[in-house]
Amino acid sequence: MDKISDFLLPIVANINTYLSNYILIALLVGVGLFYSIRTKFVQVRCFGEGMKKVFGNFSMRGGKQK
């Protein structure tokens, strides 16, 4: 059993390094761009509306909230 892990560990480590350094980064960037274009950059278009929804009823005076 020890011989198998000594043989497989370098192979798995090399595959893991290659996948995490190159392929995974390219896939994440590609999929992010794809969905941004597909949704017509909703994260940019609706930024103000999102901030109003999150912080719209925020008061610094500590008054009653709705």
Q: How far apart are CA 60 and CA 25, in angstroms?
A: 42
Rounded CA gap, 50 and 27, in Å? Answer: 27
Has residue 8 been placed in a domain? yes
pLDDT band at 56 (very low <50, low <70, confident <90, very high): confident
Q: Is residue 61 part of a domain?
A: no
Do the Cβ atoms of 43 and 36 come closer than 8 Å?
yes
Domain count, the chain: 1
- Residue 20 confidence (pLDDT) above 90: no
Q: Do the domain assignments include residue 65?
A: no
Q: Is residue 34 part of a domain?
A: yes
pLDDT band at residue 43 using 50, 70 and 90 as cut-offs:
very high
How does DSSP classify residue 48? H
Where in the sequence is the domain holding 12, given as residue range(s)? 2-54
Domain assignment present for residue 7? The answer is: yes
The DSSP output letter for 65 is: -
